[in-house]
Amino acid sequence: MKKIIWTLWILISGFLNAQNTAVFEAARTNDLKTIENFVKEGKDINVLNSSGYSLLTLSVYNNNYDVAAYLISQKANLDIQDSSGNSALMGACFKGYSALAELLLINKASADLVNNNNANALFFAATFGQVKCVEILLKYSINTHQIDIFGKTALDYAVNQENEAIIFLLK
């Protein structure tokens, strides 16, 4: 009897993991129809994949505005963090997806959320030279004085990168 139950559990788990894999692939590839069906079935839109990423984070990281906007309209958790403490906003700022950064902030994503290194989204934008994202974050009053675990601010990283435009914005 235990063997039958265990076998059924393995089959069900495999089926559920396959479904979840499909929805995460849909978030990565901007497959809005699959995401909409997932929501219509009453599934949890804040589910995390085996790497700890949410559907929203994956859609933002892959610059999939339509899926991200839909997930936000369905009340996805805007501040969900992965195992490193990174959020969708941090991903948008790292990649320079300013339209997605603004979409998240308009919908009340926390600009001052920090990751495991005590860095907020401004650190990502400053470090990777994303001027437009820096401008947007400043518009939403991000904490420019945040200090990470290394004792540095976003301005310190902009100086290190010799990015005059961002240095000017942050001074």
Average pLDDT score over residue span 156-160: 97
> CA of 80: how far to CAs of 104, 106, 117, 170, in Å?
12, 16, 16, 27
DSSP-assigned letter for residue 85: -
- Give the integer Cα–Cα distance in Å for 148 and 159: 15
The yes-or-no verdict on residue 73 having pLDDT over 80 is: yes
> CA of 12: how far to CAs of 5, 9, 19, 159, in Å?
10, 5, 11, 53
Identify the pLDDT of residue 32.
97
* Phi and psi based region of residue 118 (left: phi greater than 0; alpha: psi -120 to 50; beta: remaining): left
The yes-or-no verdict on residue 16 having pLDDT over 90 is: no
Average pLDDT score over residue span 69-73: 98
Question: How high does pLDDT run on average in the chain?
Answer: 90
Token reading at 3: 């063997």
- Could you tell me what percent of the chain has a pLDDT over 90? 86
Q: Which of 44, 126, 123 is nearest to 87 (CA)?
A: 123
The yes-or-no verdict on residue 18 having pLDDT over 80 is: no
pTM (whole model) above 0.75? yes
Average pLDDT score over residue span 96-118: 97
What are the structural domains, with CATH classification, of the chain? 1-77 (1.25.40.20), 104-171 (1.25.40.20)
Average pLDDT score over residue span 94-107: 98
pLDDT bracket for residue 21 (50, 70, 90): confident
Convert the pLDDT of each residue in 33-70 to its tens digit. 999 999 999 999 999 998 899 999 999 999 999 999 99
Identify the pLDDT of residue 3.
53
- Could you tell me what percent of the chain has a pLDDT over 70? 88
Cα 165 from chain centre = 25
Contact 151, 119 (CB under 8 A): no
Identify the pLDDT of residue 20.
63
